[in-house]
């Protein structure tokens, strides 16, 4: 797994903090920001956006992925998540799977920082989602024409 250089990491932490500042989280009061480094070298950020119909809310990571895809990014090289306090805010299970969709053949760093931008945890997607189900799993069957 490729390590992220310090300048890029700082830019990602700043982007995640900036996104967090725009969080719409009136129901949980739990503001989250996420920043993705994409294969095009760009950083894409997102915040959580909640809804009065609670299950319709979106996580910060999911919105960052949407921003990346919309802008033409194809692969995620690293993720930074910024939580609202001093505790470790790791991506929820659903977001781990959504991130998995856009990870290349190499694993990728997942970096968690606190509300002040301090690093709390450096892990990887494969550590957070071992033995994952992904596009290759589905495509192997589709490509072989084995379905049904
Ligand atoms: N949330 C995220 O945006 N990302 C995570 O990784 C964990 C949880 C949001 C969802 C909801 O708006 C709030 O945090 C509380 O769960």
Between CA 75 and CA 77 the distance in angstroms is: 6
pLDDT tens-digit readout, 67-89 = 999 999 999 999 999 999 999 99
Q: What is the pTM of this model?
A: 0.95
Q: Are strands 76-82 and 119-124 parallel, antiparallel or unpaired?
A: unpaired
**pLDDT, tens digit, for every residue of 132-147?**
999 998 998 888 887 6
Res 145: pLDDT:
85
- What confidence score (pLDDT) does residue 147 get? 63
pLDDT of residue 127: 97
What's the confidence (pLDDT) of residue 12? 98
pLDDT recorded at residue 142: 85
Question: Which residue minimizes the CA distance to atom 4 of ligand 1?
Answer: 59
pLDDT at 90: 97
Q: Is 60 in the pocket of ligand 1 (CB under 6 A)?
A: yes
74 CA from centroid of ligand 1 (Å): 24
Residues of the chain with pLDDT under 50: none
Backbone angles phi, psi at 61, to 5 degrees: -65, -40
> Among this protein's residues, is 146 annotated catalytic?
no
Q: What's the pLDDT score for residue 148?
A: 61
Ligand 1 contacts CB of residue 22 (under 6 A): no
Confirm or reject: Cβ of 65 under 6 Å from ligand 1.
Answer: no
- Which neighbouring-strand residues pair with 43? 37
Angle between helical axes of 6-20 and 60-71 (0-180°, round to 10): 110
């Amino acid at each position: 797994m490729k390590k992220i250089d310090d300048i890029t990491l700082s830019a990602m932490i700043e982007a995640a903090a900036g996104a967090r500042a725009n969080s719409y989280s009136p129901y949980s009061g739990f503001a989250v920001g996420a920043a993705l480094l994409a294969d095009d070298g760009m950083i894409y950020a997102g915040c959580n956006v909640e809804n009065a119909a609670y299950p319709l809310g979106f996580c910060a990571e999911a919105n960052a992925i949407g921003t990346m895809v919309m802008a033409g990014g194809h692969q995620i090289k690293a993720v930074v998540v910024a939580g609202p306090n001093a505790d470790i805010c790791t991506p929820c299970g659903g977001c781990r799977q959504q991130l998995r969709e856009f990870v290349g053949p190499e694993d990728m760093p997942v970096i968690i920082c606190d509300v002040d931008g301090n690093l709390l945890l450096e892990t990887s997607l494969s550590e957070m989602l071992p033995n994952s189900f992904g596009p290759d799993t589905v495509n192997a069957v589709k490509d072989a024409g084995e379905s049904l």
